[in-house]
């Protein structure tokens, strides 16, 4: 599963230097993360996720659903298709969106 660090960086028109300065990482370290030559620690993933306003799971490449009622993010079980998921596991809302995070930019707020 490929991470989405490079995808989010490019989508937000950031250089490695821009992103590195924003989150306190060196350019070559970020490059190694993007090319999966090095695995970031959880706290580093959290800093990147916070910067891009996405959950860590999304940054790691997982499909992430967003509940339209409570705004929570959740990851479906492996091999589960959308029509098999009845509701948000947190508030039981039957309405949620799959991977709507891909269309968001760094300054966008969480969508309801």
User: Closest by alpha carbon to 36, among 14, 55, 61?
Assistant: 61
Q: Band of the pLDDT at 97, cuts 50, 70, 90?
A: confident
Q: What is the pTM of this model?
A: 0.74
The answer, yes or no, to whether residue 93 has pLDDT greater than 60, is: yes
pLDDT of residue 96: 80
**Mean pLDDT (whole number) for 82-87:** 83
Query: How confident is the model over 78-107, as a mean pLDDT?
Result: 74
Distance from C-alpha of 110 to C-alpha of 54, rounded to nearest angstrom? 8
Q: CA distances (Å), 26 to each of 16, 22, 40, 71, 96, in order?
A: 8, 10, 12, 33, 37
């Amino acid at each position: 599963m490929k991470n989405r660090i490079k995808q989010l960086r490019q989508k937000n028109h950031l250089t490695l230097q821009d992103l590195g300065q924003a989150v306190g990482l060196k350019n070559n370290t970020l490059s190694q993360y993007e090319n999966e030559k090095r695995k970031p620690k959880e706290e580093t993933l959290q800093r990147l996720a916070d910067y891009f306003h996405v959950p860590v799971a999304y940054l790691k490449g997982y499909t992430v659903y967003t509940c339209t009622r409570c705004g929570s993010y959740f990851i479906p079980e492996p091999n589960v298709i959308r029509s098999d998921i009845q509701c948000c596991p947190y508030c039981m809302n039957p309405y949620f969106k799959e991977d709507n995070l891909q269309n968001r930019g760094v300054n966008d707020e969480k969508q309801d």
